[in-house]
Amino acid sequence: MGRRAHSERGFTLLEMLVALAVFSIAALALLNLETVTVTNTNRIADRTIGQIVARNVAVEALTDPAPPSIGTESGEELNGGRDWQWTRTTGPSPEARILQIDIAVTDASGDRAADLTVFRFAAQ
């Protein structure tokens, strides 16, 4: 009974260091994944609210009894607790009786959050 069997000796220091290195690489990968996920979630939230703002501007242009004048208008809207800047560009479409309305929405830092194009009759 002088020597123990190989399976009873336990792990060597080198084996423990390798195991810790593998674990730390996996943990760093998970932290990186978490960062990317949070960033993408914020970006999706910004685009969702930006689309809501764009649709609000479009509904105003479509439901106004008088069609919007040809040209560019800008404004600001508070939505989701944040300020959003919008630009509405109205121009003729290939069909003379229809106007094309392009709407662009940016957040406070100037990043594009949404683009929307709608059409409406030029005269009611």
Give tens-digit pLDDT for 7-33.
567 788 888 999 999 999 999 998 888
At 51, give phi and psi (nearest 5°): -65, -40
Give the pLDDT band (50/70/90) at residue 80: confident
Tell me the pLDDT tens digit for each residue of 54-63. 999 999 999 9
C-alpha angle with apex 21: 15 to 26, nearest 5 degrees?
130
Say if residue 88 is exposed, middle or buried (CB neighbours under 10 Å; 0-12, 13-18, 19+): buried
pTM reported for the whole predicted model: 0.71
The domains of the chain, with CATH numbers, are: 10-121 (3.30.1300.30)
Q: Rounded to the nearest 5 degrees, what angle is found at the Cα of 82, between the Cα atoms of 87 and 86?
A: 5
